[in-house]
Amino acid sequence: MTESAVHPALWPAPYASGAVEATVTVPGSKSVTNRGLVLAALAAEPGWLRRPLRSRDTLLMADALRAMGVGIEETVSSSSVAAGSMTPARGAGSPSFTGEAWRIFPNGLHGPATVDVGNAGTVMRFLPPVATLADGPIHFDGDPRSYVRPLHGVIDALRALGARIDDEGRGSLPLTVHGGGALDGGTVEIDASASSQFVSALLLSAPRFNQGVEVRHVGATLPSLPHIRMTVDMLRGVGAQVDEPETGGEPNVWRVSPSAVLGRDLTVEPDLSNAQPFLAAALVTGGRVTVRDWPTRTTQPGDALRRIFTEMGGSCELTARGLNFTGSGRIHGIDLDLSEVGELTPGIAAVAALADGPSTLRGVAHLRLHETDRLAALTKEINELGGDVTETADGLHIRPRPLHSGVFHTYDDHRMATAGSIIGLVVPGVEIENVATTSKTLPDFPRMWTEMLAGAGA
Ligand SMILES: O=C(O)C1=C[C@@H](OP(=O)(O)O)[C@@H](O)[C@H](O)C1
Ligand SMILES: C=C(OP(=O)(O)O)C(=O)O
């Protein structure tokens, strides 16, 4: 019996019979939406989040904050605010678009409450610091995978800053933060080599700590620096004072002073990491894809795709309408350190498996503790389609081979599903197991992908 006969959740990845030509509207950034929700919940006044991402990770964040007493109303609204900009909540001008918006009312943080983190790194790392400010116990639990994803950096740091946390000695989920209504804060050393989210988590809540925070990273490496820049940028956007290495501060040290958090009106940029499969579609089919509203200035790691996919054979042009990306019909192998942009690895590996020469992807050992062990999963799934991928200590070595049909397993990892779909565009007969796992950050992916191929514009 074939696997499709026993497994109802196999999605035949659409095959592109020619060059893809499409214009795509990609929903809002997961990382911006979840930071925006946290900062709005900590604010001294109501705020707006416009064009938020509605996906499993962001709905878990919203539900968790609601459980702690924050009011979050979903509305259809209008605004004149340009994508990515932040303006005071009061006084928005005349409307230039309509769309979904969340109005956030920070009503004080209350326990007891229970939080489901799912498998969302942003929820499991960003919310324990918030919970220390609640006036009662907040219990955190999540998917089985959340139990093995690193959390020790946040737990140990919060304890050092004065929090009471009961994790029964595990150093991971499930756990209870016994919120005391306030946290001392102060200076703390952490090793954030397993996840940049440890640093972001401590900084995001720090304006509300009595003494703010000084975070000193003492580990050998630090992944995903653009995501820490995003945290610093968004904190500054809500009026926080932040000292950090990139504007003259000490290396690996971030300081946030205690202050009020302002309620803001934030329009969320498109998720550039979720734009990746659509750009890849142009690259691997020699087509042309426009991603609407690509920001001219952004801290999102996905902006690096303009450079990376150009090096791999495409070309791009940033216009007022968005990013036009064109494939040349040739795909080149690449030697890349992806430590700053680790979440792009699955999509780059998929393209590299289709290239005209070998690729080496480095600096991403920490991906072994992402949604799944991404290095093992990519190696196994590409090789099962006939590829030749080996794991290295900190990445992948990919030698392109002719690929054939087969099932691409996803291990509950949204980026495995989109990576398999990229391969399926040019390899007939690829089936994606559990494409619904894209709901973590892009619930509409199967429809958008099918519409892209119909040339309808997703
Ligand atoms: O702060 C964030 O929004 C993120 C940081 C990164 O985490 P790691 O530093 O754990 O890789 C990234 O991979 C994740 O998708 C989102
Ligand atoms: C690593 C990722 O997510 P998380 O926020 O759960 O860490 C990701 O989206 O690629």
Ligand 2 atom 7 nearest Cα: 121
Q: Do 205 and 339 have their domain in common?
A: no
224 is in an annotated binding site: yes
Confidence label for 77 from pLDDT (cuts 50, 70 and 90): low
Task: Report pLDDT digits (tens) over 301-317.
Answer: 999 999 999 999 999 99
Q: Which ligand is closest to the CA of 340, given by its number?
A: 1
Among 29, 30, 31, 234, which is best to mutate for testing ligand 1, by the most ligand atoms less than 8 A from CB?
31
Both tokens of 154, joined, read 């946040």
Ligand 1 atom 12 nearest Cα: 343
**Domain end: 267, 283, 317, which one?**
267
**Domain end: 243, 267, 291, which one?**
267
Mention every residue, 6+ apart, whose C-beta is less than 8 A from residue 235. 39, 203, 204, 207, 242, 256
Domain that includes residue 154, residue range: 30-267
Ligand 1 atom 3 nearest Cα: 31
Task: Report pLDDT digits (tens) over 191-219.
Answer: 999 999 999 999 999 999 999 999 999 99
Beta strands in 80-146 (DSSP E): 86-88, 97-105, 113-116, 137-141
DSSP string, 139-178: EEE--GGGGTS--HHHHHHHHHTT--EE-TT-SSSSEEEE
420 is in an annotated binding site: no
Instruction: Report the C-alpha dihedral over residues 294, 295, 299, 301, rounded to 10 degrees.
Output: 10
The answer to whether residue 458 is domain-embedded is no
Residue of 244, 269, 343, 433 marked active site = 343
Neighbours of 415 (CB within 10 A): 31
421 C-alpha to center of ligand 1: Å?
A: 22
Q: Which residues line ligand 2 (CB under 6 A)?
A: 120-122, 343, 370-371, 415, 441
The answer to whether residue 106 is domain-embedded is yes
Q: 95-99, 401-405, 408-412 — which is least confidently predicted?
A: 95-99
Burial of 122: CB neighbours in 10 Å, binned 0-12, 13-18, 19+: buried
Q: Do 151 and 43 have their domain in common?
A: yes
Q: Do 417 and 391 have their domain in common?
A: yes
Give the residue among 154, 151, 145, 184 at the shortest CA–CA distance from 170.
Answer: 151
Domain of residue 189, CATH code: 3.65.10.10
Confidence label for 7 from pLDDT (cuts 50, 70 and 90): low
Among 123, 148, 370, which is best to mutate for testing ligand 2, by the most ligand atoms less than 8 A from CB?
370
Q: Do 101 and 198 have their domain in common?
A: yes
Residue 163 confidence (pLDDT) above 70: yes
121 C-alpha to center of ligand 2: Å?
A: 6
State ipTM. Answer: 0.99
406 C-alpha to center of ligand 1: Å?
A: 30
Q: Which residues line ligand 1 (CB under 6 A)?
A: 31, 121-122, 195-197, 200, 223-224, 227, 342-343, 366
Residue 247: the pLDDT is 87
Mean pLDDT of 434-442: 97
Mention every residue, 6+ apart, whose C-beta is less than 8 A from residue 349. 359, 361, 378, 382, 389, 396, 398, 419
**Domain end: 212, 238, 267, which one?**
267
Q: Do 284 and 410 have their domain in common?
A: yes
Residue showing tokens 């090096």: 311
Locate the ligand 1 atom nearest the alpha carbon of residue 369 and give its number.
10
Catalytic residue status for 343: yes
125 is in an annotated binding site: no
Ligand 1 atom 14 nearest Cα: 343
Locate the ligand 2 atom nearest the alpha carbon of residue 195 and give its number.
7
Mention every residue, 6+ apart, whose C-beta is less than 8 A from residue 125. 151, 154, 195, 197, 198, 200, 201
Mention every residue, 6+ apart, whose C-beta is less than 8 A from residue 92. 48, 79, 80, 81, 265
Domain total for the chain? Answer: 2
Mention every residue, 6+ apart, whose C-beta is less than 8 A from residue 248. none
